[in-house]
Amino acid sequence: MSKPLCLIVDDEPDIIELLVMTLERMNIECYRAETLAAAKKLLAAKTFDLCLTDMRLPDGNGIEIVATIGRNLPVVMITAHGNVESAVAAMKAGAFDFIAKPVKLPELRNLVKNALQLPKNSQNSSRNQQETERHQAILSRLIGKSKAMQTIRAKIEKLARSQAHIYIKGESGTGKEVVASMIHALSARAEKPFVPVNCGAIPSELMESEFFGHKKGSFSGAYSDKQGFFQSADGGTLFLDEIADLPLHMQVKLLRAIQEKQIRVVGDYKEIPVDVRILSATHRDLGELVKKGQFRQDLFYRINVIELYIPPLRTRTEDIPDLVAKILADLNSRNTEQQMSISEDAIKALQKYHFPGNVRELENILERAMTLSENNIIETIDLQLPLDSEQVEQKGLDPLIENFEKEKIFKALDEANGNQTKAAKLLGIGVGALRYRLQKFKV
């Protein structure tokens, strides 16, 4: 195989020598340019696999190279130490990543390896065909043909070719974790772990141990060494859902881990390097929390290099038929005894509903409707939608509906002599769904 080609753009001879020496030891062929004009000539003459460029050049700004190359070639920006604003500007323009001077060689090697793992756009290889099919399969996880969904899929493709930390903003139930997993799956980190974390579900006193791990004996109850989320996600992506729920003391430690790319295990004295991309999300307004002093501004600046907004379901009702078809297909696949469909009137009723709980609420409504339906077709009455959907708040099942559901379940259990598998078949739902309801009803 031919060596990967890298274009290095910098007007400092010492920096160029260091970069060339490091990359050539990685079996990468290097070309040099000291100006923006020289770089553009080389880019026009050759097909490169990677570009490393200084931010400040004698005849322009390195960000112009990002615009010249487009999204097909990963560009790594070399910035002055502490110049976060320039680094953020480069990432927003489409740079793959940035590295600060003085350049740390382990960090550089890591970064170059990740950049070279990005999918190439060769048109004639069978490998490219397989990659295209995988690519499309990943993008199809986001259901809907609306303009909003098309825009988000395009943004996901672009963001996947970067290492920028991304803040995913949207209401509860809009699918923020699905989007985060898609960005990871399409990125150069796809072969490494994707670790989702619900920050709101971790007790405050355990957070440091959960995030950074601990050594045996470091505190009462630490009976063995334990890896934290950062070690588990090393080389991959860490998705921090509901990041607004992190207490201030943990925000400080998270900021340091992101800035230094190092962590200290609880009970240890030395720091260890970690290579993790941070994707974060919350349904709360982080900007408002920053103003109130409840979220650190410097951390917000770090995690919000690029913001991706996921619109609520009520603003894209044209996607509801496709979402319903996918959800019913998934539910039917768990239930071989009874295959459910839905009437056109029921679809229209769903399109008029406000959906305060978004896609997650749609899933719950359809799962409940399958239990309530008296035949194989879900009708409007089975959906049990509130009459005034614009004013309703998401407070769970209406007590009357819940009682009706309980009666049906208890009747089925009675007919099945307490056998949950048989009762689930009589109800036309999976055993897991039945057990979930029994647990909910505390039976």
CATH number of the domain enclosing 342: 1.10.8.60
Query: Can you give the pLDDT at residue 393?
Result: 44
The residues near 30 (Cβ < 8 Å, ≥ 6 apart) are: 5, 6, 7, 8, 19, 20, 23, 24
- What is the tens place of the pLDDT at every residue in 308-357? 999 999 999 999 999 999 999 998 888 767 788 999 999 999 999 999 99
Residue ending a domain, choose from 257, 287, 309: 309
Pick the closest to residue 258 from 189, 291, 304, 217 (CA basis): 304
Please report whether residue 249 resides in a domain.
yes
Mapped onto helix, strand or coil, the DSSP state of residue 315 is helix
The amino acid at residue 346 is A
* The model's pTM: 0.79
| Residue 266 shares a structural domain with residue 145 | yes
d(CA 177, CA 181): 6
Structure tokens at 24: 């050539």
Per-residue pLDDT of the chain (443 residues; tens, 9 = 90+): 689 999 999 999 999 999 999 999 999 999 999 999 999 999 999 999 999 999 889 998 888 888 878 667 899 999 876 667 777 888 888 889 888 888 889 889 999 998 998 876 544 445 577 778 888 999 999 999 999 999 999 999 989 988 999 999 999 999 999 999 999 999 999 999 999 999 989 998 889 999 999 888 788 777 888 899 999 999 999 999 999 999 999 999 999 999 888 999 988 889 999 999 999 999 889 999 999 999 999 999 889 989 999 999 999 999 999 999 999 999 888 876 778 899 999 999 999 999 999 999 999 999 989 888 878 899 998 898 875 434 444 444 445 556 667 777 888 888 888 888 788 777 766 666 677 677 766 65
- Using CA atoms, how far apart are residues 443 and 440, in angstroms rounded to an integer? 8
235 and 331 in a common domain = no
157 and 303 both lie in a single domain: yes
CB contact set of 307 (below 8 Å; sequence gap of 6+): 166, 167, 168, 169
Distance CA(110)–CA(14), nearest Å, equals 21
Query: In terms of domains, do 334 and 273 share one?
Result: no
Residue 136 lies in a domain: no
pLDDT computed for residue 334 by the predictor: 83
Residue 251's closest CA among 288, 215, 301, 201? 301
Q: Report the CATH number that the domain containing residue 275 is assigned in CATH.
A: 3.40.50.300
Q: What is the CATH number of the domain that holds 103?
A: 3.40.50.2300
State the CATH number of the domain containing residue 436.
1.10.10.60
Residue 409 pLDDT: 82
Contact 259, 248 (CB under 8 A): no
The number of domains in the chain is: 4
Residue 134 lies in a domain: no
Residue 132 falls inside a structural domain:
no
CA distance linking residue 212 with residue 264, whole number of Å? 7
Q: What percent of the chain has pLDDT over 90?
A: 53
Tokens of 14: 């010492």
Structural domain including 344 reads 316-395
Residues 102 and 233 occupy one common structural domain: no
Domain end marker among 101, 116, 131: 116
Contact 128, 122 (CB under 8 A): yes
Is residue 379 located within the same domain as residue 412?
no
Same domain? For 35 and 99 the reply is yes
Q: Which amino acid would we find at residue 335?
A: N
Residue 183, amino acid:
I
171 in a domain, yes or no?
yes
| Crossing angle (nearest 10°) for helices 399-415 and 358-372 | 50
- DSSP string for residues in 185-221: HTSTTTTS-EEEEEGGGS-GGGHHHHHH-B-TTSSTT
Question: 288 and 159 in one domain?
Answer: yes
**Do the domain assignments include residue 213?**
yes
Q: Which two tokens stand for residue 398?
A: 């209406």
* Structural domain ending residue among the three candidates 269, 286, 309: 309
346 located within any domain = yes
Kindly state the tokens that stand for 432.
Answer: 């897991």
42 shares its domain with 157: no
Whether residue 133 lies inside any domain: the answer is: no
